[in-house]
Structure 1
């Protein structure tokens, strides 16, 4: 389990186990992006995995009380006043590919997730209200047969995403709402934020049942010596997995009867620009800026960030859009930097060859991390990343649907009123979300994510049926 690191400065990663903070230097790893040495306490499986014979601490806590706790947590997650978030920010900045300024901006967002109105609305949208989480709700079917149903608290392992600290906060809130027993696997791209939030919860109420239901620890993803023990139906019901293709494939091999996978697997996104963008130069510049804002979310290290943009227009119009888009990609934004990580070698090699294939291909920008735009008549054969965009001319925005697949998560559309023109075709292709261009990172509370209502999938639906048999 130990990794020998070339660097001498090691960052201590604390664990948090069922209400208790743990420090230690028993295991050493390297962070994902920069190979920074991380040291952690050893894993104690008997403490991480409560027996199924014991109800979880929060199983019978009313949702209303849990929401009270989360709302209070939101008030304490203020970066300027929270020493745990401040410490987490400094350490995350050393291991994350995101600039420190962008990480800091994500720490200013918790308040929007943890309001009473948002949390209650989410429960109402998913379950119709808290009643079915709080107890057994009686139903009578059309034939007069009575049964009771409960959305019973689950036992979940969460493979957390490491591309944004905000994911830790939303995962903790979701876990709390379903009342279950939860084990969070910390990501190497950000092994600090989750523990910082749990420490804050402990300051509010160290004995709260929700806090005693949660543990957060780190191990190297794919470590069979850990996962062969943890990923079992004897201990947990489901694995909630965020991550890249390799991580999801590794997680899938552990699934089987009684242990299910809820996968937020790798997605890509795209955008569609209608002919209305060319009504004036001012409009075109605004549309290019909206598209750049979406593309550059977390420097394009986000599922919602478009990789392809289909533009309804003549070739010379599309090329003008590409020129403006490339310039807009090189701007500092709230969740993007003017200069991001440079494109990988496979993109540089492919694009160098395309520069000689005009007019079928045209290229704007360079490999300095400020933005790269490739206009082509067919999709390029490389995966655009690091603020790289493939722009495709289309005769009609409906034609853009041919480039969507079941791996396409979000599609931003301009102008907004034309979403209705194409959304059914996009949904048929497998798209899960259609938004107005420029708002890919925003979202309505309580909506589906990746084609499902996650909280609905998290719980175990159990029926107590009073039906009597009439057979001999």
Structure 2
């Protein structure tokens, strides 16, 4: 059988780089293609390490957001060549359906054009939307957020939008970014970088962006990792540990490691809305995302709800058709179904293996989730029974109806859950919310302060700050009056 091959480029500081004979690496795609790219070598590593790390520091934020907005407007057009090529590549290389690929391109377009929300994001996470441009008054000081410098993004393979989000975070905090692509998504970072070159090959944002790939043990990749001022590491435990182990000791390492999410539902209250929201949160990204719902704890009438859920799973199979199934993935779904039937669970699913619902007691079910829209439903007497299944590896708890959250969130949060949302909205991260219990922008900046002079009375004081005089007069204990 002939193996299909495709060539993919790097983008380095506004330049497209294609692989040269004898200096390439090959990666297999989820659809069985062989992807050939340039080899990441010492010359590329040195160029990025030696680049001006403060090249965006004095560029006004409004200019950066304006540039991103122009890029996003291009992506909103289905005729834009980069978008069209990206959508086709998502299908051909990653196995996305056409509706899912176009939905992902739409989400990237929305992200890039959300300039007002980017101002709000900076204000929420750093204290003021002006703080990246100027010194901002804060109590008895003036504070400014300066870029860390060279930020290495170790990007995920499961959610293309997360790649774009990580890159945008680096840009709006005025850092120089190296986007190290994951083997499962060698498309998104390059597509964004080439979009920037379409606008201008010399714009500072374009020049600050690098999209590359290297194998896990590439020594030049390790050298760059060790030289980065900050690292945003996405992925499995091994990838996170690798980044933490090899990063510079004073580098800020922000990790978004492997997580899972589940839902709590009272099926006695508007079960149709609950079924719709749950089907959406199972279908999006085929459960590959940290926020994807993989299990649900259910109170109330189960059978009427399951009937509605089966219809919604069928509907979402049409709205967001699942990614193409490989032979191995098809086999894993069938094995999972047969195992659950053997152990006495109720199993419902589409003939095409597009989705599966497993109904079983709460103390049973998967240990290693097979993904692919397999949902475990646990009927319980009380939703408090779900507390014991909450832990720091659970990112999101989604609820229907929403008012269940104030009742249960404290117990879940104490056990490590970091995010609570209404069912059907797991993929929409609200401005002001945290990401895996942190404000990510804080790891991308240095917060520098200028403190007020001694002539400025501190809060609660009525005298100048002169500790020497106070020591001489024996009035140090009256420093705060």
SS at match of 2:189: helix
Normalised by the length of structure 1, the TM-score is 0.86
Deviations 1:122-181 (A, max 9, x none): 12212232332124446564xxxx675534343211011222332333233212101011
Match of 1:61 in 2: 59
Q: Does 1:369 align with 2:353?
A: yes
Match of 2:132 in 1: 133
SS at match of 2:131: helix
Q: Does 1:231 align with 2:228?
A: no
Distance across 2 between alignment mates of 1:338 and 1:214: 32
Deviations 1:88-138 (A, max 9, x none): 222232221432331122112234222332121112212232332124446
SS at match of 1:109: helix
1:218 to 199, 213, 218: 213
In the TM superposition, what is the alpha-carbon distance from 1:54 to its structure 2 partner?
Answer: 3.9
Match of 1:380 in 2: 365
Match of 1:3 in 2: none
Q: Does 1:249 align with 2:233?
A: no
2:181 to 174, 177, 186: 186
Unaligned runs of 5+ residues in structure 1 are 1-5, 278-282
Distance across 2 between alignment mates of 1:7 and 1:188: 22
Match of 1:158 in 2: 153
Q: Structure 1 379/155 Cα, relative in aligned 2: closer, same or farther at 3 Å?
A: farther
**Residues 359, 378 of structure 2: 8 Å contact kept:** yes
Q: Structure 1 148/305 Cα, relative in aligned 2: closer, same or farther at 3 Å?
A: closer
Deviations 1:421-465 (A, max 9, x none): 111112112112111111212232342211111111221233456
SS at match of 1:258: coil
Q: Structure 1 245/367 Cα, relative in aligned 2: closer, same or farther at 3 Å?
A: farther
Q: Structure 1 439/55 Cα, relative in aligned 2: closer, same or farther at 3 Å?
A: closer
In the TM superposition, what is the alpha-carbon distance from 1:17 to its structure 2 partner?
Answer: 0.5
Match of 2:291 in 1: 304
Q: Does 1:121 align with 2:108?
A: no
SS at match of 2:118: helix
SS at match of 1:389: strand
In the TM superposition, what is the alpha-carbon distance from 1:393 to its structure 2 partner?
Answer: 1.8
In the TM superposition, what is the alpha-carbon distance from 1:66 to its structure 2 partner?
Answer: 1.1
Unaligned runs of 5+ residues in structure 2 are 455-465, 472-481
Distance across 1 between alignment mates of 2:323 and 2:138: 58
Equivalent runs, 1:382-461 vs 2, <5 Å:
382-384=367-369, 385-461=371-447
In the TM superposition, what is the alpha-carbon distance from 1:347 to its structure 2 partner?
Answer: 5.8
Distance across 2 between alignment mates of 1:318 and 1:193: 41
**Residues 24, 38 of structure 2: 8 Å contact kept:** yes
Q: Structure 1 47/370 Cα, relative in aligned 2: closer, same or farther at 3 Å?
A: closer
SS at match of 2:397: strand
Larger Rg, first or second structure (1 or 2): 2
**Residues 59, 153 of structure 1: 8 Å contact kept:** no
**Residues 405, 429 of structure 1: 8 Å contact kept:** yes
SS at match of 1:416: coil
Aligned residues: 450
Distance across 2 between alignment mates of 1:246 and 1:35: 24
Q: Does 1:73 align with 2:71?
A: yes
In the TM superposition, what is the alpha-carbon distance from 1:61 to its structure 2 partner?
Answer: 0.9
Higher helix content, 1 or 2: 2
Deviations 1:71-93 (A, max 9, x none): 22211223423212222222232
SS at match of 1:198: helix
Distance across 2 between alignment mates of 1:309 and 1:347: 19
In the TM superposition, what is the alpha-carbon distance from 1:295 to its structure 2 partner?
Answer: 1.0
**Residues 154, 460 of structure 1: 8 Å contact kept:** no
Q: Structure 1 148/268 Cα, relative in aligned 2: closer, same or farther at 3 Å?
A: closer
Q: CA RMSD in A?
A: 2.9
SS at match of 1:72: helix
Distance across 2 between alignment mates of 1:178 and 1:334: 39
Q: Structure 1 355/108 Cα, relative in aligned 2: closer, same or farther at 3 Å?
A: same
SS at match of 1:391: strand
In the TM superposition, what is the alpha-carbon distance from 1:32 to its structure 2 partner?
Answer: 4.3
Q: Does 1:274 align with 2:271?
A: no
In the TM superposition, what is the alpha-carbon distance from 1:323 to its structure 2 partner?
Answer: 4.4
Q: Structure 1 449/356 Cα, relative in aligned 2: closer, same or farther at 3 Å?
A: same
In the TM superposition, what is the alpha-carbon distance from 1:327 to its structure 2 partner?
Answer: 4.2
Q: Does 1:336 align with 2:320?
A: yes
Q: Does 1:38 align with 2:32?
A: no
